[in-house]
Amino acid sequence: MTRMRRSVLGVLVAVLVVPAADAAVHTQLVGNFDTPIQVFAPRSVPGSTLYVVEKGGKIIRRQSGGHRNIVLDIHGHVSGGSEQGLLSAVIAGRKLFVYYTNGAGDSRVVRYRLNSGLGHVQAGSRRTILRQSQPFDNHNGGTLQYRGGHLYLSLGDGGDGCDTAKSAQNLNTKLGKLLRHDSNGWKIVGYGLRNPWRWSFDRMTGDIYIGDVGQSRREEVDFLDASRNGGTPENYGWNHYEGTLSGTCGSKDEGIKGPGKLVFPRYNYGRSVGSTVIGGFVYRGSDMPAQKGRYFFGDEGDSWIKTADARTLNNRQTLGFSVPFLYSFGENSQGELYVVSGTGPVYKLLDN
């Protein structure tokens, strides 16, 4: 059974966010886009500037007043499967890194150089820094992040169901891993992941939160303390564990392998709660003072958004509205939070 397949479809239907009367947080429409899949911004730009990644292959910059321009268009180079396409991007200085699946369905990370205004890529600046074959067309992950001079990427286990390629516990492949890139290439930060679709750093502490989409029983949010980033990679247990349940993959179970300490999720939940976890962010902005230090995350299958205490993920609360086809959360340069619906809308989160 695959997850995210049915969700990343770009279905063109009108969807409204339905508020509840007692909601402490509400949404404000930023704009509509063509199957948006991620929103982000480097810290060097004004808070009104956002970069929106569209699944079909474009990155759109939206500035104050709603002005838009196309930063990058690689629509002729990306595959169009339901879990494929242009999946993530990040800017570091004047470098734009993008993660996508190419026409053959394989994963690529490519670096471009931007002009001084960070509004256009420079001709001839393209450089490929990751080539990863994909055995199936699902569980591609993944999210790019940049911190401390390093580029990070999450990759799924290669797809099909129950890790058919036997990747997540195999330290000789990049599949099923959280990776960091440095001068010596790609290094494993964490392994035993199934489909870490969306993950993030806490911009204040450097702690890592990983939303790992489950098979058929459990969804999970994994946590990596900043002090352990760069040490022995931690093992998050897939496919021996799905959340805190063992044996859900039957004869395909690969057991627990490698030197990493087995780490159970900070929060996991079953199908009565949701079906496709969407990892989010710890709120560190100023527009929602009552939410500072709360981790926002969601579920695409059941369209809810929850908040929880940072680090422990205790004291969970469900917000009073839903976002159908919830694909991602994102931050602007000031740490304000946004949510992305794959049907087109991008919303900013605000206090009432």
Cis (ω within 30 of 0) for the bond into 214?
no
pLDDT of the residue at 157: 98
pLDDT of the residue at 110: 98
- pLDDT higher than threshold 50 for residue 14: no
pLDDT of the residue at 352: 77
Query: How far is CA 331 from each of CA 119, 172, 198, 240, rounded to the nearest angstrom?
Result: 18, 33, 13, 34
Which residues lie below 8 Å from residue 231, measured CB to CB, with a gap of 6+? none
CB atoms within 10 A of CB 45: 19
Q: Report the distance separating Cα 85 and Cα 79, nearest Å.
A: 5
Closest CA to 4 of 237, 249, 274, 209: 274
Mean pLDDT of 211-225: 98
pLDDT of the residue at 246: 98
- pLDDT higher than threshold 70 for residue 67: yes
pLDDT of the residue at 23: 46
Mean pLDDT of 72-93: 97
- pLDDT higher than threshold 50 for residue 56: yes
pLDDT of the residue at 21: 33
pLDDT of the residue at 192: 98
163 vs 17: which has the higher pLDDT: 163
What's the mean per-residue pLDDT of the chain? Answer: 94
pLDDT tens across 277-327, in order?
A: 999 999 999 999 999 999 999 999 999 999 999 999 999 999 999 999 999
- pLDDT higher than threshold 80 for residue 5: no
Query: How far is CA 208 from each of CA 81, 152, 343, rounded to the nearest angstrom?
Result: 29, 11, 28
Q: Which domains does the chain have, with CATH numbers?
A: 38-276 (2.120.10.30)
Q: Report the distance separating Cα 225 and Cα 222, nearest Å.
A: 10
Mean pLDDT of 62-75: 98
Reduced to 3 states (helix: H, G, I; strand: E, B; else coil), residue 65 is helix
> Residue 6 — pLDDT band, cuts 50, 70, 90?
very low
| Residue with tokens 């527009």, as numbered in its chain | 287
Mean pLDDT of 65-70: 98
Reduced to 3 states (helix: H, G, I; strand: E, B; else coil), residue 289 is helix
pLDDT of the residue at 22: 35
- pLDDT higher than threshold 70 for residue 76: yes
Mean pLDDT of 95-116: 98
pLDDT of the residue at 321: 96
Give bridge partners of residue 61 from the DSSP assignment: 51, 69
- pLDDT higher than threshold 50 for residue 15: no
- pLDDT higher than threshold 70 for residue 101: yes
Q: Report the distance separating Cα 287 and Cα 349, nearest Å.
A: 9
- pLDDT higher than threshold 80 for residue 232: yes
- pLDDT higher than threshold 60 for residue 19: no
